[in-house]
Homo-oligomer: A and B are copies of this chain.
Amino acid sequence: MPLSKMSFSRSIKAIFASFSPYWLACVPLSALIVIFWNTAATAQGLEPPANLDELRIVLDSIFLLLCSVLVIFMNAGFGMLEAGFCRQKNAVNILAKNLIVFAIATLAYWAVGYALMYGEGNAFMGTSGFFFSGDAAAYGDDPYPAAVPPAISFLFQVAFAATAATIVSGAVAERIEFAAFLIFSTLLVAISYAITGHWVWDGGWLSEMGFSDFAGSTVVHSVGGWAALVGAAILGPRIGRYEDGRVNAIPGHNMGFATLGCLILWIGWFGFNPGSELAATANVPYIAVTTNLAAAAGGVAATFTSWLKDGKPDLSMIINGILAGLVGITAGCADVSYLSAVIIGLIAGIIVVYSVAFFDSIKIDDPVGATSVHLVCGIWGTLAVGIFGTGNLLTQIIGILAIGAFTVIFSAIVWSLIKATIGIRVHTEQEIRGLDISEHGMEAYSGFLKEADVLAAGSSMANTDSELSGSLR
């Protein structure tokens, strides 16, 4: 029987309370000890680039740094998007998750993930370079200026790893325990994402087969999407979401945040896709243009698809259509023509509208549509390399299935273990009250009156267009 959230929280407090504050005195002490053996690589005092090769490598490094910044900025995009699509009573929780997950991903990938993904190893996984040390962090076989500094490869990959984890947070929003999400994210980034990434991007077995996924429709987006799908399925839907065979709309609370998030993600993708060239080349602009065309086509397709399907242009579908186009072009952005990019985006934008309806029809509750955007369009994008690009369609399918199977099994095991130990879902009364108060003890919008306040007061003075159903606010 899982520990309840309250008792878990109390346990943590009790454990730590048993230490006196003087344990903090250990910190500087530990620090002093550490610095004696802490003589690893630091910045190398290199001279300014002295020849063409050195200058080229420095340009590659600066380019990848700026791409990394754009990808890291996607954390703000996901944070705004997911918070905007959820209810205000859970906004602090989703913001906290999206913020801390990049910190945790950074440390988990630094300690373990980078070694499993890019360390020396075998066709299945890397086995060296933990804590970004040794050969992985030093200039190795290809010393500067023959190759970019390892630090920039590491930073770019950290940013990617965090993306996979962030995708999960949207699908499990509004009912997952905070600690459960932190633990799952850590393990996903450190182990599962790293291993399947190694298969494709560090000479692993899928790479050997010719599987083509330039910037990660499968390696990043589908992996995040599969983990999200398994999480959402094991968690079950939010209270009140599916009743009497109906799907109750639970509208997001801040469409300004959601739209801002979409536009931040759009520009973040100009780091994600062009940066995956891993060097400043004359191909980079080409990749940026296919990326932009697919995003635009996805947005337009989803707008008109939802307009004709429901009679009104739905802003959340415009947003998800743009993201669908971006996920769809991620695998093939360097490998398809401009026209193909538009077609890939158009199809992704249509798919995402119907995919959202499909998951609701099987009662998988994904508050932000992350599974439709990242998993379904990630699969579509990977297939598209076999249709419009130079990839082999059969190999693409094998890659999708292999990575999907590994991620699903890994996720199912980890989510189940978490459920069986500390618990995965908040209590009913916590969910109704909202995670902000119950898990974090604070409100996202202090000082504002909410409809729930009025309901709680038993007053029916509000007369809004939407029906006031207590459990859905």
Is there a chain B Cβ closer than 8 Å to A313's Cβ? yes
Q: Which residues of B lie under 8 Å from residue A56 when comparing CB positions? A: 48-49, 55
Chain A stretch 2-29: residues in CB contact (< 8 A) with chain B: 9-10, 12-13, 15-17, 24, 27-28
Interface centre among A92, A99, A307 (most CB of B within 10 A): A99
Which one of A61-69, A119-127, A228-236, A413-421 is at the B interface? Answer: A61-69
Is there a chain B Cβ closer than 8 Å to A34's Cβ? yes
Is there a chain B Cβ closer than 8 Å to A282's Cβ? yes
User: How near does chain B come to A44, taking the closest CB pair, in angstroms?
Assistant: 6
Interface centre among A45, A69, A83 (most CB of B within 10 A): A69
Chain A stretch 433-466: residues in CB contact (< 8 A) with chain B: 437, 439-454, 456-457, 459, 461-466
Q: Which residues of B lie under 8 Å from residue A257 when comparing CB positions? A: 256
Given A95-B255, A103-B322, do A448 and B446 touch, yes or no (CB 8 Å)? no
Given A42-B336, A80-B260, A266-B72, do A447 and B447 touch, yes or no (CB 8 Å)? no
The contact string, 1 if C-beta is below 8 Å from chain B, for chain A 195-231, is 0000000000000000000000000000000000000
Contact B446 A87 (CB under 8 A): yes
User: How near does chain B come to A25, taking the closest CB pair, in angstroms?
Assistant: 12
Chain A stretch 144-171: residues in CB contact (< 8 A) with chain B: 144-145, 148-149, 151-152, 154-155, 158
Interface centre among A28, A61, A133, A144 (most CB of B within 10 A): A61
Chain A stretch 68-122: residues in CB contact (< 8 A) with chain B: 68-70, 72-73, 75-76, 79-80, 83-84, 87-89, 91-92, 95-96, 98-100, 102-107, 110
Which one of A284-292, A359-367, A403-411 is at the B interface? Answer: A284-292
Contact B280 A62 (CB under 8 A): yes
Is there a chain B Cβ closer than 8 Å to A131's Cβ? yes
Complex alpha-carbon distance, A56 and B54, angstroms: 10
Complex alpha-carbon distance, A304 and B428, angstroms: 25
Contact among B52, B288, B308, B346 for A51, CB-based, below 8 A: B52
Is there a chain B Cβ closer than 8 Å to A412's Cβ? no
Which one of A240-248, A337-345, A370-378, A394-402 is at the B interface? Answer: A337-345
Is there a chain B Cβ closer than 8 Å to A252's Cβ? yes
Name the CB-closest residue of B to A64: B285
Q: Which residues of B lie under 8 Å from residue A59 when comparing CB positions? A: 55, 58-59, 62, 280
Contact A103 B308 (CB under 8 A): no
Q: Is the interface of A mostly helix, strand, loop or mixed?
A: helix
Contact among B145, B259, B274, B441 for A79, CB-based, below 8 A: B259
Contact B451 A451 (CB under 8 A): no
Complex alpha-carbon distance, A397 and B167, angstroms: 45
Q: Which residues of B lie under 8 Å from residue A46 when comparing CB positions? A: 281-283
Q: Which residues of B lie under 8 Å from residue A307 when comparing CB positions? A: 12-13
Complex alpha-carbon distance, A228 and B43, angstroms: 33
Contact A340 B251 (CB under 8 A): no
User: How near does chain B come to A456, taking the closest CB pair, in angstroms?
Assistant: 5
Q: Which residues of B lie under 8 Å from residue A462 when comparing CB positions? A: 449, 453-454, 457
Q: Which residues of B lie under 8 Å from residue A342 when comparing CB positions? A: 107, 110
User: How near does chain B come to A321, taking the closest CB pair, in angstroms?
Assistant: 8
Q: Which residues of B lie under 8 Å from residue A61 when comparing CB positions? A: 280, 282, 284-285
Q: Which residues of B lie under 8 Å from residue A57 when comparing CB positions? A: 282
Contact among B44, B51, B76 for A260, CB-based, below 8 A: B76
Complex alpha-carbon distance, A388 and B397, angstroms: 50
Complex alpha-carbon distance, A158 and B285, angstroms: 13
Name the CB-closest residue of B to A15: B308
Complex alpha-carbon distance, A309 and B459, angstroms: 38
Given A58-B59, A315-B96, do A65 and B256 touch, yes or no (CB 8 Å)? no
Is there a chain B Cβ closer than 8 Å to A40's Cβ? yes
Contact A286 B42 (CB under 8 A): yes
Name the CB-closest residue of B to A270: B69
Complex alpha-carbon distance, A41 and B343, angstroms: 16
Complex alpha-carbon distance, A96 and B255, angstroms: 9
Would you mind naming 5 contact pairs between A and B with Cβ atoms under 8 Å apart?
A: A12-B307, A98-B259, A145-B282, A316-B442, A449-B462
Beyond contacts A104-B296, A155-B288: 18 other A-B pairs, Cβ-Cβ < 8 A, are A12-B307, A42-B286, A43-B283, A59-B59, A61-B280, A64-B285, A75-B266, A99-B322, A103-B295, A107-B293, A133-B338, A155-B285, A255-B445, A315-B442, A447-B452, A449-B451, A454-B461, A457-B463
